[in-house]
Each structure stands twice: as C-alpha cells, then as structure tokens.
Amino acid sequence: MTTQELTYLFVGLSFALYIAIAIWSRAKSTSDFYVAGKDVNPIANGMATAADWMSAASFISMAGLIAFMGKDGSVYLMGWTGGYVLLALLLAPYLRKFGQFTVPDFIGARYYSKAARLVAVLCLIFISFTYVAGQMRGVGIVFSRFLEVDINQGVIIGMIIVFFYAVLGGMKGITYTQVAQYCVLIFAYLVPAIFISILITGNPIPQLGFGDTLINSSTYLLDKLDNVTEELGFLPYTESVKSNIDVFCITAALMFGTAGLPHVIVRFFTVPKVSDARKSAGYALVFIALLYTTAPAVGAFARVNFIDSVQGKEYVNAPSWFKNWENIGLISWNDKNADGKIRYEAGNVYIDGRPQFIEGSGASGERMTDNVSDLSNKNEIYIDRDIMVLANPEIASLPGWVIALVAAGGLAAALSTAAGLLLVISAAISHDLMRKTFKPNITDKQELLYARIAAAFAIFIAGLFGIYPPGFVAQVVAFAFGLAAATIFPALFLGIFSKSINKEGAISGMLAGLIFTFLYIAYFKFINPAMNFEDNWLFKISPEGIGFIGMLINFFVAIVVSRFYSPPPIEVQEMIETIRQP
C-alpha cells in the first residue's frame, strides 16, 4: 500500500473507533454529559487526562518550537509539567470533594454570588476559545498535508468528527474516546522518535539519544547542533536568547495557567472518590511524561535532519517531503541569489515573515509569492514550525506506515483536547448560565438539550478560529494558559485556602487579571505587532509570560478589595473547612 492509502486507512480506522466508543458510551443524563457519571476508573481517567492535556500544542508544535528555539523552548516543558504538579497537589482533590459539575459551580458557591459565577464563565469562555483555536489549526494542518485537502476543509472535517462524539457522548463518550486517543497519540509519537534516534545516534531510547554521540562518530548530537546553527548565523542551539525574567514569567504563567485550565480540572470530577482524584493525577503524570521527556529529543532530531536535508541542495532535486509541504504553503523557498540552490540561514525570507502564494513559478522554479523579499539577510527558507513533528518521519525517510501513524496521532491529540474544551464551554452555557442563573426550573432533559445545542454552537465558533488562526499552535495555547493563570487559578486557590476572600474581592480580582492580560496580549500580538519586541515590553516580559503578572494583579486586587467589604457568610466558611478536611 502507498503512504497515502495507509494514511487514509489509519485515520479512517481511528475515526471509526472514536465514533463507535461515542455510540457505546452515549450520555443519558446530565451527570453522564458533564462528569461521566462520576464512576471513571483512576487509570482510565489518568489516560483520558493525559490525552486531554497533550493537545496539538504538545504533539505537533512543542517539539517544533524546541527545534527552532533550542534551549529557550524548555520553558514549555518546565511550565506545562510543573503546572500539572501544582494542579494535582493544590486544587484537584479539593475541587473533587466539592462534588459539583463545573469550575464556575465552585466559584459561584464559594463566593455566594451569581455575578462571580458569570465572571468565571466569561473567563472560562475566553480561555477555552483561545485554547481551542490552536487545536483546530492543528487539525487543519494534518488534514491538508496527509489527506490532501485544503486546510479549511480539514478543519470542517475535524468539526464534524468532534461534533459527533462530543454532542452525542458528552463527558462519558469523550472520556473513553480519549483513552483510545491517548493510546494512538503516544504510540504515534514514540515510534518515529525511536526510529530516528537509532538512525542518528544508534541509541533506541530517544531520551538518551538526545545526549548521545552521533552514530559512527565521537561528536555529540548537541555539539553538532551548536556548531551547525552557529555556522548558519543562529545562536548556538544550547544557548538562551531570552532574558531570565522572561523565562521565569513564561514558565510561571504556564505553570499557574495549567492549574487553572477548566477542561483539565473537570477531569477530576469524573472519578468516584477524592482519593481517586489523587491517583488519577499520579497516573496522568506518568502517561504525560512519556511524551514530554521525548519532545526535546524529537526537536533536536528534527532540526538536524531538516538542515541536512535541504541545505545547499538544488531546488529541482529537493526531496519530495519539501515539495509536499510547499504545496500547502507551510514551507516556502525564495531564490534570492538566483543560483537555483536552497540556502537556509538566520533571518527572514519575507518582510512580513509569512509567504502568500499566488499562481506561477519564479525564475528558478520556486513558487511565486506576493510578499516583498527581505534582502537584509541571505535566508531563503520559510518554514512553519508546526510541521516539524509531522514532517520528521518523511525527512528521515521512515516507512509509509510510520508517516500514516503520525498523521493519526496528530489528529488524536488535537481532537481529544478540542472535545474536552468544547464540553467545558457547553457545560458553562447550559449548566452555569441556563440552569444556575437564567432558567433554574428547567428539567434535566431540557438541560441536556441545551448542553448539546451549546456544544454544537461552540464547535462552529472553534472551526472559525481554526480557519482564521491567530498564530502558531503553541503560541496560541500559551496565551490561553496566561489568561487561565490571571483569572481562574487565583480565584480557585484563594477560594480553597483563604476564608477571608469575599465575592467582591474575587470578582474584582478576576476582572482585573482578565482585562490586563487580554489587553497586553491583544496590543502586542494583534493591535500593534510591530511593537512586539523586548524593549517595548513591560519589565521585558513577553506576551507569553504576562499572565504571571496578571495573576499577581488578581491576587493583589482580590485581597485588597476584600478588606473593604464584609467577610464571607459563616456557612461558606464552614464549606471551606469541610473541603479542606482530609
């Protein structure tokens, strides 16, 4: 079978499996739809949590960022894994003991206020839609390359698949689908990593191959990367370009944002007991570690293979993988010196940084673009970082079935997280807005209908974000974490560990954190991107790290404002004592 046929087979079988699981485990009640009936085994929940957690950003984009950022890419590894430990220790068991359906449920009850619930819903929707944009972009990239459809058509196909098992199965269907998706994505990530590690270093364990010598050589992999990247005008691969304060803030924003992500928190509502929430967290950490400890090696392998594959090659003899990705606009070559050879060095190819393809071909056979070339440097290659993990097996000339497996894994990663996020949005609208705020007298059957309608609406909006993405997958996701750190985490942390924070303080803190963080990100990324460089940032903190400052503002405002109003009612303080008891 050809690689294309294998891809259709692998992806088709995985989709059939997901849909079959959704039909088998379809939700019959609001408890099934929101929290899977609270009877999920901790091991299964750990796998589902890992799949929910390891999104398109983890599978597709993280290793790509590490490949091009080098040491600076470690902020994603440190932030996302460290944050999960915070979530497991500080929030998950207490929220499970609270025993409700959603994060706004806890905030509404803890801060004895419909207004607090509504602000939490607002923050949750901001976070979830920002996050889901990255997932749908990942879906579009995989479909457009491996199934040879337009990126927009790929997003629409992904929407249909998610619609089916999220709307039909709810959390129950999503949970068991995510167990299957975890198996697919981790196998798809590890198999090519092991193959490539053997080819480059002779070591079958990628985590060890990352620090090993090249095969038939005494040169270490990272030493070669340092030397090659320096020769091409980049900083050495193992050298950091970010300031220490920015590294700290990005890592902190990702950590605290992780602990405030509603679609991950809600996973701990699905187990029978509080002790099972802790067990789930432990299992999930093990399952997550399999991918996260492999990602640095995958990034390094991808950068080495990419440079070896294209540097100095004549364009007419460029490898097939290069032409495949060029056809969908995620790689571009602009022959600046008209010598017909591909030259990859430091610098931008185009003035605005991204190619915009039009019909025709250049003098050397390259595809024409309507961008103005950046002639201030010699670099002739534009490459979208999100393709590196997906292209890596092709670059390394691995068998067709491995390439097909990676395509199925990338879709599993993106769809699993997208489904979890969409369910959170659905629950916020149907449960927190309709049932708890505007229509308290509706029946369970009516609430379930509202939940499914809300899920369908959320999928439509998510698809629009996928068709019009605001950035690289991991960058978009990093903004979602910043918003979560600045809004949800302080409200949950103070709600559990402080009896003095009242509704006025919590509401003021969440709004202050949300407004500051959102405006900072929007200004530098969308309103005035030309100003987005270190000298213009507040305290030299990038938009990816500003969520940490937003979190500090939230804490400060919540504590100060609470001092000017009455303390929480006695029954609320007693509830806090109850959920904090072992």
Q: How far apart are CA 231 and CA 94, in angstroms?
A: 53
pLDDT in tens, 116-154: 988 888 888 878 877 777 677 777 777 777 777 777 788
In a domain, 80, yes or no: yes
Q: Quick one: CA dihedral 530, 72, 69, 485, positive or negative?
A: negative
Collect all residues with Cβ–Cβ distance below 8 Å to 105 and sequence separation of at least 6: 98, 117, 431, 432, 436
Most confident residue range from 216-225, 320-329, 332-341: 216-225
Do both 479 and 369 map to the same domain? no
Query: What is the chain's length?
Result: 582
Confidence label for 54 from pLDDT (cuts 50, 70 and 90): confident
In a domain, 555, yes or no: yes
Bridge partner list, 357: 369
Do both 365 and 445 map to the same domain? no
Q: How far apart are CA 401 and CA 392, in angstroms?
A: 14
For residues 464-469, average pLDDT: 74
Give the burial class of 483: count Cβ atoms within 10 A of its Cβ; 0-12 exposed, 13-18 middle, 19 or more buried: buried
Query: In this predicted structure, what is the pLDDT of residue 209?
Result: 94
Tell me, what CATH number does 90's domain have? 1.20.1730.10
Q: What are phi and psi of 545, to 5 degrees?
A: -105, -5
Q: Which two tokens stand for residue 558?
A: 């919540």
Q: Which two tokens stand for residue 174?
A: 């999503």
Q: How far apart are CA 452 and CA 305, in angstroms?
A: 46
- The three state secondary structure string of 331-393 is EEECCCCCCCECCCCCCCCECCCCCCEEEEECCCCCEEECCCECCCCCCCEEECHHHHHHHHH
Q: How far apart are CA 560 and CA 543, in angstroms?
A: 26
| Residue with more model confidence, 115 or 557 | 557
Query: In this predicted structure, what is the pLDDT of residue 470?
Result: 58
Q: Of 162, 168, 173, 170, nearest to 132 (Cα)?
A: 162
Confidence label for 229 from pLDDT (cuts 50, 70 and 90): very high
Q: How far apart are CA 539 and CA 291, in angstroms?
A: 33
In a domain, 7, yes or no: no
Total structural domains in the chain? 2
Do both 209 and 275 map to the same domain? yes
Query: In this predicted structure, what is the pLDDT of residue 358?
Result: 66
pTM (two decimals) = 0.86
Do both 292 and 192 map to the same domain? yes
For residues 251-265, average pLDDT: 86
| Residue with more model confidence, 538 or 166 | 538
In a domain, 405, yes or no: yes
Q: Percentage of the chain with pLDDT > 90?
A: 32
pLDDT in tens, 415-460: 787 777 888 888 888 888 888 878 888 888 888 888 888 888 888 8
Query: In this predicted structure, what is the pLDDT of residue 102?
Result: 81
* Residues spanned by the domain of 365: 331-383
Chain-wide mean pLDDT for the chain? 85
In a domain, 562, yes or no: yes
In a domain, 493, yes or no: yes
Most confident residue range from 56-70, 390-404, 430-444: 390-404
Do both 276 and 137 map to the same domain? yes
Do both 262 and 236 map to the same domain? yes
Do both 370 and 471 map to the same domain? no
pLDDT in tens, 495-521: 999 999 999 999 999 999 999 998 998
In a domain, 20, yes or no: no
Do both 465 and 363 map to the same domain? no
Residue type, 392: N
Do both 359 and 251 map to the same domain? no
pLDDT in tens, 151-176: 778 888 878 877 776 666 677 878 88
Query: In this predicted structure, what is the pLDDT of residue 168?
Result: 67
Residue 581 CA to its chain's centroid (Å): 34
Final residue belonging to a domain, choices 383, 406, 425: 383
| Residue with more model confidence, 560 or 33 | 560
Query: In this predicted structure, what is the pLDDT of residue 295?
Result: 93
Please, which contacts does 511-514 make with residues 24 or more away whose CB atoms are closer than 8 Å?
Answer: 511/119, 512/553, 512/554, 512/557, 513/486, 513/487, 513/550, 513/551, 513/553, 513/554, 513/557, 514/122, 514/123, 514/126, 514/483, 514/486, 514/487, 514/550
Query: In this predicted structure, what is the pLDDT of residue 185?
Result: 92
Q: How far apart are CA 113 and CA 124, in angstroms?
A: 17
Residue 412 in contact with residue 209, Cβ under 8 Å?
no
Do both 146 and 102 map to the same domain? yes
Do both 347 and 434 map to the same domain? no
Do both 163 and 215 map to the same domain? yes
Question: What does DSSP assign to residue 566?
Answer: P
In a domain, 26, yes or no: no
Final residue belonging to a domain, choices 358, 383, 408: 383
Query: In this predicted structure, what is the pLDDT of residue 303?
Result: 94
